[in-house]
Structure 1
Amino acid sequence: MLSFLCRVFIDSWVGRIVAGLFFLAFIGWGVGDVLMGIGTERADVAARVGEQTILVQTYQNALQSEMPQIAQSMHLSDPSQIPSATREQVAQQVLQRLVLQAEIALAADRHGLIVPDSSVRDEIFSIPAFKGRDGRFDRALFNDRLRRTGMSEGRLVDLVRQEQASRMLLQPIRDGVGVPDVMTRRLFDFEAQTRTIDLVRVPFDTQQPAAAPTEAQVARYYANHPWEFQAPEYRHARIVVLSADTIGHQLDISDADLRAAYQAQSRTFNTPERRNVQVVTVPTQDRAMALRARWVDGGNWADVQKAAGKDAAAVELPGIRQGDVPSAELGRQIFAAPADATQGPVQSEGGWVVFRVTSITPAHSAAFDDVKQALHDQIAHTRADALVAERVQKLQDAIAGGGLDSIPADLGAVAVSGELDQSGLTHEGTPAPIPGGDAARQAIIGRIFSQPKGANPELVQGPDGVWYAVSVDGVTPAHGLDLKEAGARVAAAWQAEARRHMADQQATTFYTQAQEHGGLGQVTPAIAGLEHSQPISPIQPAPEIPREVAALIFRLDHPGQSVMVETDGAYVVATLTGITHPDPATRKPLYDRVRAGLLQSMGDDIEMSYGNALEGIVRPKPNNAAIRAVMAEVTGRENTGTGQ
């Protein structure tokens, strides 16, 4: 694992920049977690596997490393946004992974696998965290890093030896994995095959009912769909909100302070031109000229990097200023070049340079008057932060003494009142004017609809540093609307249903004709609005084709078959018109990638099966109390499971 991490971080340009940070933290599942956990009391154990212990701190470190990756894969900006159930599942999987690691280490020991001292030494010497600026192992740096993590040299040696022994045990198991050619070909064919379709869309909103509904039709629709015509519960509430923002609005910031802040942030308000640049440096002018010719002829960046050779330096420089370029002459030429045009060769201290400006961000200058309000809000918020604690205490005392009717005007609190439903909307369907961001707003609405009517208000700390108190003084229960109240809504719903029904009839006619004639394209007269798609594949979908249609198209067996689905306010009828099966010889990189993925997946499965079998030899002993505590911290609620 250490060698894998070293290879990942050292063999990539980005990795070389961040390797020191990553290896300093020892992010991973192996030695790093233990390094970070050194110093924890031995009683603080999440699980025991024979003589191996999984420390609670090790478990927590592993989770902290995993959660940001899970959030990123779910397109979330912060791990706190991961649903509680998902966080719990990740926590269980991480614990199982650590247990498996311990089981394999014990198995390697039982089999008497011996790791030579030289191999352990080479492994440790290869860890970037222990290398000096010259790229060689630095004994002083090594001692300092161990001292700061509380790790002894002997303990590190034991851990590396144990991990290498585990790899020696597992590698033959993985090496024995084979993937049948027929399996690879079938998966490759599924992923790489392309299909073309004809399709026609029948949107609901393009249909025009013949006439407005009669009173009898409206009454019948109302009687058949009573659940559609409900008035939600409304509550009348008084709300008081206190935050740095509400306090800041009352603070007076002098013009002198604003101008001083403007001068202090002049680099922010007056930014020089920035450029994104792709730069390749090669040893000779001839190679630079050949590289430029290749780049000009339409070569993309990946091809240019490969063509540059191993002794070249090919880097992307995002958002650079002219002063960031070490060579003054090269900087001048980069900032004089047009965008999307290959330039060079230019001789520099490091060799011959060919470059391409991919985008330009012009210089920007903001006048004082343009940013005055923003500066006011910034300074006011900063000053208000220091006042929040004192104002919270005063507000709490005021509420305790006289409720929401006795709030001093000079506290900087904001009071609002009115009726709203559980979605935070007024009777007019507009958002209720509750101060604060979305998170605070949702917390306040939740409080309004969970607090009993007439209950004494209580000052509560909400999200984003917002404090609030709520008093509910009126509740209008949810109830069904009578026909007179819902008349306009019923008529609109009848019209919408009529349009949907007409679209259904039209699409069904198209589908029936396609079935009878062998496809939409064979229907005569030709169907207006018929679309012919470009080739699509499971790994390269077309955004203009609805997902529901694409999913069904890849289930069809042969051209001429048709499907009909409802999606996004329309019915869509589609006919499969062609299937192109790929030739592995012409798509060898993809074929090899599919095969490698299958090998990796099957190797993982076999390793997991082997690890599960090892549990029958040495049963893990979980510390359920410690595991529940970690689970509760991760999920934000008490977990009653055992963690296994």
Structure 2
Amino acid sequence: MFKSKLSKTFVWILMGLLILGLGGFGITNLGGTVRTVGTVGDKDIDVDAYAREIQEEMRAIEAQSGQSFTFEQLQSFGMDRAVLDRLITQRALDHETDRLGISLGDENLREQILNISAFQGLDGSFDRESYRFAIQQAGLSESEFENSLREDSARSLLQSAILSGTTMPETYIDTLLTYLAERRDFTWTRLAPEDLQTAVLAPTEAEIKAHYEAEIDSFTRPAAKDITYAWLSPDMILDDVEVSEDVVRALYEDREAQFNRPERRLTERLVFGSMEEARAARGRLDRGEIGFDALVEERGLELSDIDLGDVSAADLGPASEAVFDAAPGSIVGPVQSDLGPALFRINGILEAQETPFEEVRDDLRTELAADRARRVVDSRIDDIDDLLAAGATLEEVARETDMQLGQIAWHEGVSDGIAAYDGFRSAAQAVQDDDFPQIERLDDGSIFALRLDAERAATPIPLEDIRDEVAADWKESETVARLTEQATDIANQLSEVSGFTEQGLTAREEKDLTRNDFVPDTPERFLEEVFAMDLGEIRVIPAETSVFIARLDAIEAPDEDDPEVQSLRSNVREQTNSALAEDIFNAYATAIRNAAGVSINQTALNAVHSQFQ
């Protein structure tokens, strides 16, 4: 299992190198003098490896998010630091395996290389020329690749030794499961303002004043910064950006494959060394001696190894006609494919997609206009910075450019208008009285500059300005206080003999509820209160405008016969064991990093970063 997994890992590493084509990155772009971005102990962190990891991480983030990012944006998220940290940990492990004398022997190394499918010919045997060609295309020498394979194997062995047997005690699992899956039966009712025995009258002047003073924090304006800002966003100049019909149509044609896609098939392909082998396998399938999945497993493969995804007829070469004539769920072949005789399984049909230009014209024009507007905004940064550097005020900048002037009383919690941007809020938080305005960028391509005009301390709002609000707040608080007193009297009278009905209350019964369940018409912390109760306890639970009375009728342990509980136990065990293993590994990795010593070449890092900017 270990060998198979390792071989597949290196297949993907090798294919990644071929696709990225970054071999010789350091030579081409760094003048051949800088080959490392740092060292861990006696292990170098290769500049090419760092560049490849950066590019792979950028592509992975863009694939997951479905949008493009600049390197600067991803750098602000800490992407480059995460990549470097990962490589430091890898090299620390390599240093430690050397210290411990852990290595992959020549015979095992040979076996690993022979089993990597990327180096095999059509007959499944090792092809020396394929091996040499693939390694060269990846920008590696054979010794470099084989050394990487040895290091990866040694790291895997060390990690397995560290993480093996890391399991949480069963009592810990039981405790968590009890917390998550224990159930409660309870009865409850709600007292609303209309249930008060005596109505709450309007407050007196003395009561209003006393409530205002007691709750002065609620009636205080927070400390704030009076800020003037100048702001220019792409949307502000969008109407001024012209995009010709020819440019829009050119973008449509560039994305022809996105808007007009041929009919496709979700297909798996199982290739054989000869037509005789393929026919024999088909015969076993037809006689019911073996299923397709079992046939794949028998070949030492997984379904992911043979999955072609969605393919068009053009992708299948000589097998296209047979595959596209077959119905979903059927197995076709054996037929010749680009890789030799093969059986194909058709898992689904994706109909052809045709989107005429007229349907997407407006969306494409808006996209192009927004992109141009962002570039226009970006192109004006230097000129605006020059104005500010020359002493122009924000008001003067707004008069001489397209920037719009605004004022805001900013404090924590304000998120309207420009304060909706994290970048602006961070700048507003940091700005000092003696700071000069300078251009800052926002995530959507907007720019802004700000000036602190004044700082205001937290100040109570005069009572005469909010008298009605204070009176309404007093009435609400007084209503809940009286309801709580009334509910407490009722709770004291409730017992097994005198229940909710005997007290003239309309009660609701809940059965088998867990902490994760939801009870309609109750406050957010209602179930939390119920689960904190002892069996038979009656509790009064005040809420914002009403009061609840709850009685705990039964506590039920997790139902271990319930498949959902069994699945939950399994998930809890897996997650806690995984978390424990991760904590142990991180602690070990930190220790060996500190012991080995880490040195980073910031100049080399900056040189790599410049290639992505």
Same fold (TM over 0.5): yes
Specify whether residues 591 and 310 from structure 1 end up closer, same or farther in structure 2 by C-alpha distance, changes over 3 A only: farther
Pick from 468, 475, 479: which aligns with 1:488? 468
User: SS of the counterpart of 2:438?
Assistant: coil
In structure 2, the residue matched to 1:414 is 403
Pick from 194, 213, 228: which aligns with 1:223? 213
Displacement of 1:467: 2.7
In structure 2, the residue matched to 1:30 is none
In structure 2, the residue matched to 1:124 is 113
Contact 2:235 2:370 in 1 (8 A): yes
- The C-alpha deviation readout for 1:533-582, integer Å capped at 9, x for no partner, is 4565x8xx44669996777877889x656778789998774734422442
User: SS of the counterpart of 1:249?
Assistant: helix
Specify whether residues 552 and 90 from structure 1 end up closer, same or farther in structure 2 by C-alpha distance, changes over 3 A only: farther
Indicate yes or no: 2:567 matched with 1:582. no
Indicate yes or no: 2:595 matched with 1:620. yes
Indicate yes or no: 2:508 matched with 1:530. yes
Pick from 92, 96, 99: which aligns with 1:106? 99
Specify whether residues 122 and 355 from structure 1 end up closer, same or farther in structure 2 by C-alpha distance, changes over 3 A only: closer
Displacement of 1:41: 5.5
Specify whether residues 174 and 353 from structure 1 end up closer, same or farther in structure 2 by C-alpha distance, changes over 3 A only: closer
Q: Which one is further off, 252-261 or 58-67?
A: 58-67
How far apart, in 1, do the equivalents of 2:386 and 2:183 lie?
71
- The C-alpha deviation readout for 1:464-497, integer Å capped at 9, x for no partner, is 4333233455666542211111223323433443
Contact 1:236 1:420 in 2 (8 A): yes
User: SS of the counterpart of 2:207?
Assistant: helix
Specify whether residues 60 and 229 from structure 1 end up closer, same or farther in structure 2 by C-alpha distance, changes over 3 A only: farther
How far apart, in 2, do the equivalents of 1:66 and 1:272 lie?
27
Indicate yes or no: 2:375 matched with 1:395. no
Contact 1:192 1:581 in 2 (8 A): no
Specify whether residues 443 and 84 from structure 1 end up closer, same or farther in structure 2 by C-alpha distance, changes over 3 A only: closer
Specify whether residues 210 and 552 from structure 1 end up closer, same or farther in structure 2 by C-alpha distance, changes over 3 A only: closer
How far apart, in 2, do the equivalents of 1:364 and 1:495 lie?
64
Q: Which amino acid aligns with 1:198?
A: F
Contact 1:235 1:472 in 2 (8 A): yes
How far apart, in 1, do the equivalents of 2:564 and 2:449 lie?
68
In structure 2, the residue matched to 1:252 is 242
Displacement of 1:87: 10
User: SS of the counterpart of 2:200?
Assistant: coil
In structure 2, the residue matched to 1:458 is 438
In structure 1, the residue matched to 2:337 is none
Specify whether residues 424 and 283 from structure 1 end up closer, same or farther in structure 2 by C-alpha distance, changes over 3 A only: same
How far apart, in 2, do the equivalents of 1:61 and 1:205 lie?
66
User: SS of the counterpart of 2:213?
Assistant: helix
Contact 2:119 2:128 in 1 (8 A): yes
Matched residue pairs, number?
Answer: 563
In structure 2, the residue matched to 1:197 is 185
User: SS of the counterpart of 2:404?
Assistant: strand
How far apart, in 1, do the equivalents of 2:487 and 2:289 lie?
58
In structure 2, the residue matched to 1:377 is 366
Contact 2:266 2:308 in 1 (8 A): yes
Displacement of 1:118: 1.8
Specify whether residues 69 and 275 from structure 1 end up closer, same or farther in structure 2 by C-alpha distance, changes over 3 A only: closer
Displacement of 1:379: 2.9
Task: Determine what percentage of the aligned residue pairs are the same residue.
Answer: 17
Displacement of 1:420: 3.4
- The C-alpha deviation readout for 1:564-623, integer Å capped at 9, x for no partner, is 8789998774734422442699998887777777877787788889989x97xx982424
In structure 2, the residue matched to 1:641 is none
Contact 1:244 1:388 in 2 (8 A): yes
Specify whether residues 471 and 285 from structure 1 end up closer, same or farther in structure 2 by C-alpha distance, changes over 3 A only: same
Specify whether residues 309 and 267 from structure 1 end up closer, same or farther in structure 2 by C-alpha distance, changes over 3 A only: closer
In structure 2, the residue matched to 1:338 is none
- The C-alpha deviation readout for 1:211-264, integer Å capped at 9, x for no partner, is 444433221111001111122456665533345544443233456655666677
Contact 2:94 2:151 in 1 (8 A): no
Map 1:363-374 to 2 at 5 A: 368=358, 374=363
Q: Which amino acid aligns with 2:40?
A: A
Displacement of 1:403: 3.4
Contact 2:267 2:347 in 1 (8 A): yes
Displacement of 1:120: 1.2
- The C-alpha deviation readout for 1:120-158, integer Å capped at 9, x for no partner, is 111233446656787665544544554466644334444
How far apart, in 2, do the equivalents of 1:475 and 1:585 lie?
60
RMSD, aligned CA: 6.6
In structure 2, the residue matched to 1:479 is 459
How far apart, in 2, do the equivalents of 1:45 and 1:453 lie?
41
Q: Which one is further off, 118-127 or 136-145?
A: 136-145
Contact 1:115 1:164 in 2 (8 A): yes
How far apart, in 2, do the equivalents of 1:205 and 1:275 lie?
64
How far apart, in 2, do the equivalents of 1:69 and 1:225 lie?
53
In structure 1, the residue matched to 2:416 is 431
Specify whether residues 126 and 511 from structure 1 end up closer, same or farther in structure 2 by C-alpha distance, changes over 3 A only: farther
Contact 1:235 1:421 in 2 (8 A): yes
How far apart, in 1, do the equivalents of 2:289 and 2:541 lie?
54
In structure 2, the residue matched to 1:298 is none
Contact 2:480 2:542 in 1 (8 A): no
In structure 2, the residue matched to 1:16 is none
Specify whether residues 95 and 501 from structure 1 end up closer, same or farther in structure 2 by C-alpha distance, changes over 3 A only: farther
- The C-alpha deviation readout for 1:343-382, integer Å capped at 9, x for no partner, is x76564467978679xx999786884x7665444333334
- The C-alpha deviation readout for 1:418-466, integer Å capped at 9, x for no partner, is 44333585xxxx934x4xx943xx4345545654569754334444433
User: SS of the counterpart of 1:228?
Assistant: helix
Contact 1:198 1:531 in 2 (8 A): yes
Contact 1:187 1:594 in 2 (8 A): no
Q: Which amino acid aligns with 2:411?
A: Q
Q: Which amino acid aligns with 2:185?
A: I
Q: Which amino acid aligns with 1:240?
A: A
Contact 1:243 1:388 in 2 (8 A): yes
Q: Which amino acid aligns with 2:597?
A: P
Pick from 196, 205, 210: which aligns with 2:200? 210
How far apart, in 2, do the equivalents of 1:239 and 1:56 lie?
45
Specify whether residues 195 and 107 from structure 1 end up closer, same or farther in structure 2 by C-alpha distance, changes over 3 A only: same
Specify whether residues 625 and 563 from structure 1 end up closer, same or farther in structure 2 by C-alpha distance, changes over 3 A only: farther
Specify whether residues 124 and 570 from structure 1 end up closer, same or farther in structure 2 by C-alpha distance, changes over 3 A only: farther
Q: Which amino acid aligns with 1:484?
A: E
Contact 1:285 1:345 in 2 (8 A): no
Contact 1:275 1:319 in 2 (8 A): yes
User: SS of the counterpart of 2:240?
Assistant: coil
Specify whether residues 308 and 458 from structure 1 end up closer, same or farther in structure 2 by C-alpha distance, changes over 3 A only: same
Specify whether residues 371 and 355 from structure 1 end up closer, same or farther in structure 2 by C-alpha distance, changes over 3 A only: closer
Contact 2:54 2:80 in 1 (8 A): no
How far apart, in 1, do the equivalents of 2:583 and 2:533 lie?
31
How far apart, in 2, do the equivalents of 1:276 and 1:544 lie?
47
Contact 1:200 1:529 in 2 (8 A): yes
